C-alpha cells in the first residue's frame, strides 16, 4: 500500500490492538448450479447429510471448548446453531430441494437459506436481523463442509489481528483465542454474537466496517482502536508506537482503577453501575467496583431458544445474578420476545402477553434473593406505562410464592423516545425511576435509520441535549431516581456534559467502569453545569463537543489524550 488506509466501523469491544493482519475468507465462494440425474439423487442426499453431521460435530466441539474456558453461559450462543442443524425449515427443505428440483446440495442449500433470511432482513428489528445472520452462519458452515474446507488454525505465536467478512460463533471461539489480539469484520453490529464473544475474550474489535480494501495482505500491520471504532492498515512507525503505548497504558490503567472512587473534584459522589447482558459478566462487574447493575439486558436469554425460555429457566439465571450482586441492586429490562423492544401493552396478543408475564413472574420470584428493580423499554405514552404496571400487579396477585407476592419491586421505564422525554413530568407521577437510553433517544430524535449499523446519531446534538435536560429536570423535581445508561455515559467527553446536566447515576459497559470513575474524579460539577447550559445553546454536536473539551481540558485533557479520545 502506498499509505495508511483508514476504516470506520462500530466499536464493539474496547481497547487497542496492534499486529500483523491475518485475512480469512478472502475469496468469496462461488456457487455452481448443477443438475442431478435421477440415479445420483441418493448419493447427493448422502453427501449433504454427511456435511450436516460434520458441521454439527464441529460446533459441538466449539461449544465444549467454550464451556471449558468460560463456563456454560456463553456456550448457549452455540445452542441455536445446533438446533438449526435439525430444523425442518432448513435441513429438510434443502433435502427436498435436492430431491424434487434435482439440483446439487450447494445450490439447494443456498436457495433455502436465502428464502429463510429474506423476511427477517426486511424487518426493522435488530433481533430479527441477528436471526438472519444465524441462518447465514449455519449455511456457511454447511457449505464449507460440502466443499471439504477446513478453517486453518493460526500457525504463529505472534500477536495477530484477524480480518474477516464475518465470523460464525464457532469460528470466533477458536479464532479469538491467543495469538489473536484484535478483530475487524466487514459485517456485524455491537449486539452480534461475534461482538459479544470479542468482549468476552477481551479482544479489541471494530465490526461493520463495510467492504475491506483489497490491498490488505497477510502480515500487513493493522491498528484496531476499539474506543473510536477505527482501523488503520499500514500505519507509520510513529502511529504504531503511539498505539502500542496506548495499548499498554490502558491495560495498566484498568488494573489500577479497579478500586478507586467516583467522587467529583468538588466532593459529590456519583453512582457508577454496570450494563450487563451475560450472567458471567457479574463477576467482572464486582471486580471493577460497579455499585450494582443498572441495566441487565435480558435479550441474551433467547439466543438458544426459538421461543422464550420457561419461567423456571429464567428464574435460575435471574436468581444467580441477583444473589451474586447482593446487596447491590440489579435492574432487569424486559424483553419483547417478538424481537422488537417496543412495548405496546394494549396491542399485545395472548401469546406475547403470556410471554411477558412469564418474565415478570421470574423477576418477581428472583427478587427475594436481593435488591431487584424492573423496567420497561421504549415506552411512548403514559397509558402504555400504566398498563405495564398493571400487568406487574396482575402477575404479583397470581404468583404462588409468598415472598414474591410481597417483595418490593420498583417499576421504572426507559426514556429513549422523544415523547417519553417530552412527557417526563407526567411519567414521573407514575414511574419509580427513569433510565435514559441515549442511543435510541438520539436516533429517534434525529430520524436516523436504526437498521444502518454505521449511522451515527449523536447524543451531543443540541436537540437531544434538550430532551436529556427535560428528563433529568422532571426526575429531580419529582425526587425520582434517574440514571443514564446509553453510550453518552461511556464517552469520557460526553459524560462530563451529562454530569453538568444533573445526572448522578451512570450505568456503563463493565470494562468501562474504571475509566468512567477516573473521568468523574476530574470533573468540577459547577464548571460542568455552566458548560451544559452553554451547550444547550450551541448549534451542532461538533460545537458542543469542542465546547466541553475547551472548557474542561485543564483537568481532563491529560486523561482524554492518554486514551486517544481527543
Q: C-alpha cell of 22?
A: 491475518
If we measure between CA atoms, which residue out of 441, 442, 506, 505 comes closest to residue 476? 505
User: In the listed set 120, 146, 172, which residue is the last one of a domain according to the structure?
Assistant: 146
CA 206, CA 9: separation in Å to the nearest integer? Answer: 6
pLDDT at 165: 87
Let me know whether 422 and 285 are in one domain: yes
Q: What is the CATH number of the domain that holds 241?
A: 3.50.30.10
Let me know whether 490 and 540 are in one domain: yes
- The residues with which 206 forms a beta bridge, in sequence order, are 11, 184
Let me know whether 273 and 387 are in one domain: yes
If we measure between CA atoms, which residue out of 547, 487, 558 comes closest to residue 519? 558
CA atoms within 13 A on the CB side of 137: 27
User: In the listed set 93, 119, 146, which residue is the last one of a domain according to the structure?
Assistant: 146
Q: What is the CATH number of the domain that holds 289?
A: 3.20.20.60
Whether 32 is covered by a domain: the verdict is no
Whether 421 is covered by a domain: the verdict is yes
User: In the listed set 219, 252, 285, which residue is the last one of a domain according to the structure?
Assistant: 252
Q: What is the DSSP letter of 103?
A: B
Let me know whether 373 and 484 are in one domain: yes
CA 54, CA 6: separation in Å to the nearest integer? Answer: 39
CA distances to 206, 210, 440, 509, 527 from 453, in Å: 12, 10, 13, 19, 35
Question: Looking up cell 402477553, which residue turns up?
Answer: 353
Question: Looking up cell 481540558, which residue turns up?
Answer: 553
- Which residues of the chain carry a pLDDT beneath 70? 1-2, 26-30, 69-77, 123-128, 149-156, 191, 214, 259, 300-308, 336-349, 449-457, 562-566
Contacts by 142-145, CB closer than 8 A, 24 or more apart: 142/48, 142/51, 142/52, 142/55, 142/109, 143/29, 143/31, 143/106, 143/109, 143/110, 144/55, 145/50, 145/51, 145/52, 145/54, 145/55, 145/58
- The residues with which 435 forms a beta bridge, in sequence order, are 414, 483
User: Can you tell me whether residue 382 is helix, strand or coil?
Assistant: helix
Q: C-alpha cell of 281?
A: 459478566
pLDDT at 187: 85
pTM across the whole model: 0.75
Q: How buried is 54 (Cβ within 10 angstroms: 0-12 exposed, 13-18 middle, 19+ buried)? A: middle
Let me know whether 212 and 298 are in one domain: no
CA 89, CA 110: separation in Å to the nearest integer? Answer: 13
Let me know whether 307 and 216 are in one domain: no
Active site includes 555?
no
Query: Catalytic residue among 85, 137, 141, 193, which?
Result: 193
Let me know whether 44 and 134 are in one domain: yes
CA 464, CA 177: separation in Å to the nearest integer? Answer: 40
CA angle, 202 then 206 then 209, to 5° = 160
Let me know whether 337 and 457 are in one domain: yes
Let me know whether 167 and 82 are in one domain: no
- The residues with which 504 forms a beta bridge, in sequence order, are none
**DSSP letters along 159-178, please?**
-EEEEES---HHHHHHHTST
CA distances to 116, 119, 124, 130 from 112, in Å: 6, 12, 22, 18
User: Can you tell me whether residue 297 is helix, strand or coil?
Assistant: strand
Is the Cβ–Cβ distance between 436 and 415 less than 8 Å? Answer: yes
- The residues with which 482 forms a beta bridge, in sequence order, are 434
Whether 29 is covered by a domain: the verdict is no
pLDDT at 72: 63
Is the Cβ–Cβ distance between 156 and 136 less than 8 Å? Answer: no
What are the b/e assignments for 237-270, b being 16+ CB within 10 Å? eeebebbeebbeebeebbeebeeeebebeeeeeb
pLDDT at 341: 47
CA 325, CA 298: separation in Å to the nearest integer? Answer: 16
The alpha carbon dihedral of 80, 121, 29, 108 has a sign of positive
Active site includes 386?
no
CA 337, CA 351: separation in Å to the nearest integer? Answer: 10
Let me know whether 406 and 487 are in one domain: yes
If we measure between CA atoms, which residue out of 286, 217, 311 comes closest to residue 5? 217
What's the start-to-end Cα distance of the chain, in Å?
27
Is the Cβ–Cβ distance between 188 and 129 less than 8 Å? Answer: no
Provide the H-helix boundaries in 38-158. Answer: 41-70, 72-84, 93-101, 105-121, 126-146
Q: What is the CATH number of the domain that holds 64?
A: 1.10.274.10
Whether 435 is covered by a domain: the verdict is yes
Question: Looking up cell 435510541, which residue turns up?
Answer: 440
Whether 30 is covered by a domain: the verdict is no
Whether 63 is covered by a domain: the verdict is yes
Verify cis geometry, omega within 30 degrees of 0, for the bond prior to 179: yes
The domain of 165 spans: 5-24+152-252
Whether 31 is covered by a domain: the verdict is no
Let me know whether 192 and 265 are in one domain: no
pLDDT at 117: 85
Is the Cβ–Cβ distance between 172 and 193 less than 8 Å? Answer: yes
Let me know whether 497 and 365 are in one domain: yes
CA distances to 321, 445, 453 from 126, in Å: 25, 19, 10
CA distances to 115, 187, 301, 408, 523 from 374, in Å: 38, 33, 16, 11, 31
Q: How many domains does the chain have?
A: 3
Is the Cβ–Cβ distance between 485 and 491 less than 8 Å? Answer: no
Whether 485 is covered by a domain: the verdict is yes
Show Cβ contacts of residue 271 under 8 Å, excluding neighbours closer than 6 positions.
262, 291, 292, 483, 504, 505, 506
Amino acid at each position: 500500500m502506498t499509505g495508511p488506509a483508514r476504516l470506520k466501523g462500530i466499536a464493539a469491544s474496547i481497547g487497542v490492538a496492534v499486529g500483523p493482519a491475518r485475512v480469512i475468507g478472502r475469496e468469496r465462494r462461488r456457487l455452481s448450479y448443477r443438475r442431478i440425474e435421477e440415479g445420483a439423487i441418493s448419493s447427493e442426499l448422502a453427501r449433504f447429510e454427511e456435511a450436516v453431521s460434520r458441521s454439527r460435530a464441529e460446533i459441538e466441539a466449539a461449544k465444549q471448548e467454550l464451556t471449558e474456558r468460560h463456563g456454560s453461559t456463553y456456550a448457549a450462543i452455540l445452542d441455536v446453531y445446533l438446533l438449526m442443524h435439525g430444523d425442518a425449515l432448513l435441513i429438510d427443505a434443502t433435502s427436498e430441494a435436492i430431491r424434487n428440483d434435482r439440483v446439487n446440495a450447494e445450490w439447494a442449500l443456498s436457495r433455502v437459506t436465502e428464502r429463510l433470511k429474506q423476511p427477517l432482513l426486511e424487518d426493522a428489528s435488530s433481533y430479527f436481523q441477528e436471526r438472519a445472520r444465524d441462518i447465514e452462519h449455519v449455511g456457511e458452515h454447511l457449505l464449507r463442509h460440502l466443499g471439504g474446507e477446513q478453517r486453518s488454525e493460526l500457525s504463529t505465536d505472534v500477536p495477530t489481528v484477524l480480518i474477516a467478512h464475518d465470523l460464525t460463533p464457532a469460528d470466533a471461539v477458536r479464532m479469538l483465542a491467543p495469538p489473536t489480539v484484535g478483530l475487524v469484520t466487514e459485517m456485524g453490529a455491537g449486539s452480534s454474537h461475534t461482538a459479544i464473544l470479542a468482549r468476552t475474550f477481551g479482544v479489541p474489535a471494530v465490526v461493520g466496517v463495510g467492504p475491506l480494501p483489497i490491498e490488505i495482505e497477510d502480515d500487513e500491520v493493522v491498528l484496531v482502536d476499539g474506543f473510536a471504532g477505527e482501523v488503520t492498515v499500514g500505519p507509520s512507525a510513529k502511529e504504531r508506537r503511539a498505539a502500542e503505548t496506548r495499548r499498554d497504558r490502558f491495560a495498566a490503567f484498568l488494573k489500577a482503577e479497579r478500586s478507586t472512587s467516583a467522587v467529583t473534584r468538588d466532593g459529590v459522589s456519583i453512582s457508577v453501575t454496570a450494563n450487563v447482558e451475560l450472567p458471567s459478566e457479574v463477576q467482572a462487574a464486582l471486580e471493577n467496583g460497579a455499585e450494582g447493575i443498572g441495566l441487565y439486558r435480558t435479550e441474551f436469554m433467547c439466543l438458544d431458544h426459538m421461543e422464550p425460555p420457561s419461567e423456571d429457566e429464567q428464574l435460575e439465571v435471574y436468581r444467580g445474578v441477583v444473589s451474586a450482586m447482593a446487596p447491590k441492586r440489579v435492574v432487569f429490562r424486559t424483553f419483547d420476545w417478538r424481537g422488537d423492544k417496543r412495548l405496546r401493552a394494549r396491542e399485545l396478543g395472548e401469546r406475547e402477553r403470556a410471554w411477558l408475564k412469564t418474565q415478570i413472574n421470574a423477576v418477581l420470584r428472583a427478587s427475594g434473593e436481593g435488591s431487584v428493580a424492573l423496567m420497561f423499554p421504549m415506552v411512548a405514552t403514559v397509558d402504555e406505562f400504566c398498563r405495564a404496571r398493571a400487568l406487574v400487579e396482575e402477575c404479583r396477585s397470581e404468583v404462588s410464592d409468598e415472598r414474591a407476592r410481597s417483595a418490593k419491586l420498583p417499576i421504572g421505564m426507559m426514556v429513549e423516545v422523544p415523547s417519553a422525554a417530552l412527557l417526563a413530568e407526567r411519567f414521573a407521577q407514575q414511574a419509580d425511576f427513569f433510565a435514559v437510553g441515549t442511543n435510541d433517544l438520539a436516533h429517534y430524535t434525529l430520524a436516523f435509520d436504526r437498521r444502518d449499523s454505521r449511522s451515527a446519531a449523536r447524543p451531543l446534538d443540541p436537540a437531544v441535549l434538550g430532551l436529556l435536560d427535560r428528563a433529568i429536570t422532571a426526575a429531580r423535581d419529582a425526587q425520582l431516581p434517574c440514571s443514564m445508561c446509553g453510550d453518552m455515559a461511556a464517552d469520557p467527553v460526553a459524560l462530563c456534559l451529562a454530569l453538568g446536566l444533573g445526572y448522578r447515576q451512570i450505568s456503563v459497559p463493565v470494562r468501562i467502569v474504571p475509566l468512567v470513575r477516573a473521568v468523574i474524579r476530574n470533573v468540577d460539577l459547577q464548571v460542568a453545569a455552566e458548560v451544559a447550559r452553554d451547550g444547550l445553546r450551541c448549534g451542532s454536536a461538533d460545537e458542543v463537543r469542542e465546547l466541553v473539551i475547551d472548557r474542561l481540558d485543564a483537568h481532563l485533557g491529560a486523561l482524554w489524550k492518554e486514551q486517544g479520545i481527543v
